[in-house]
Amino acid sequence: MAAGIVTTDSAPFRGILDGRPAVVSEIALAARRLIFDVLPQTVEVVWPAQRSSGYGTGPKKNSEQFAWILPHAAHVALAFPYGAELDDPAGLLGGTGAKVRNVRLASLADVARFELRTLLEQAMRHRMPPPPTAVTVGD
């Protein structure tokens, strides 16, 4: 399995958007901004070979991440590792897997939905270890 790049720099993320239509890149970047808005100290892991990225409280895909961004040719999938366990009254989540669910983002308006932010906030707290804290030097 290809190693991921742990980063907060957008350059590796922009690399997984190479060759995607401009609208898909815009949607993916907006979803990334939303995730960092929900949890500013998010740990981002970019998997160049898989053309995807994960977000959470640490780099471990299955135990420390609450969302994944997967840019496709015509849309962006925002996946939730424990999406089947989330409360989704707006019915945004799709998929039939035992655990993973995703939201199909086809426009910037999809990213701006309040219900999407609510899902991210819920996922961030569901089965996640505490977020990293800032390190203060010189105390």
Q: What is the pTM of this model?
A: 0.88
* Per-residue pLDDT, 118: 97
Cβ–Cβ under 8 Å, residues 102 and 78: yes
d(CA 61, CA 80): 11
Which residue ranges make up each domain of the chain? 5-125
Q: What is the pLDDT of residues 57-114, one digit of tens each?
A: 888 888 899 999 999 999 999 999 999 999 999 999 999 989 999 999 999 999 999 9
Distances (CA, A) of 73 to 25, 87, 91, 139: 10, 29, 24, 49
* DSSP-derived secondary structure letter, 34: H
CA 53 to each of CA 9, 15, 87, 91: distance values in angstroms, whole numbers, following the listed order: 12, 11, 23, 24
Query: Could you give the CA distance from residue 129 to residue 103 in angstroms, rounded to a whole number?
Result: 23
Q: What is the CATH number of domain 5-125?
A: 3.90.1150
